[in-house]
Amino acid sequence: MKLQCHSILTNYAATKHQRARQFVTGGNARFSVQNNRNTRYSYSILHTVKAHWYASVYTGGYWKFIGKFDPATGGISLNKQSQFPKSDKHVLVLKWALGYIWQDLEFPEGYDVQHEGMCCKCGKPLMSLNEVKRGIGDMCLHLSR
């Protein structure tokens, strides 16, 4: 079964960039960055119990660690555990996309950031249209208020 992807840059209860930042900093966000040639990279931003934020990319059938994520700036910092050099395309695409989101810039024609139908907090499938539009499940939304 193919996953349905949904743009996190559509307006719904906040500006599209605010909504995208809220989704990415949900604690368990999985999203894809797609360009105008339909090349797609899937990323995860995870907030751990120890209050650390980590960025990973899905490649070669596995999630691979990129570096630490700063939710205040949208920045990515690589460290000795990073599985990619700073010049790697996986790293550059993530930094580029987060930069556009955090700086409230419009993506070029044909580029998009999409969630894949999973709650940004708990990672469970989103079931209703409202959940899909928000990128967060009803229960997680209720618990976060």
Q: Which of 11-15, 60-64, 101-105 has the lowest mean pLDDT?
A: 11-15
| 142: Cβ contacts below 8 Å, ≥ 6 apart | none
Query: Coil, strand or helix: which one is 45?
Result: strand
Tens of pLDDT, residue by residue over 7-30, are: 555 544 457 788 889 889 989 999
Would you say 98 and 24 are in contact if contact means Cβ atoms under 8 Å apart?
A: yes
Alpha helices, H only, the chain: 16-24, 89-102, 129-134, 138-144
d(CA 61, CA 86): 21
Tens of pLDDT, residue by residue over 105-144, are: 988 999 988 887 888 888 889 898 888 878 888 888 888 7
Looking at residue 8, its pLDDT comes to 58
- Burial of 62 (C-beta count, 10 Å sphere; 0-12/13-18/19+): exposed
| 14: Cβ contacts below 8 Å, ≥ 6 apart | 22
d(CA 19, CA 60): 30
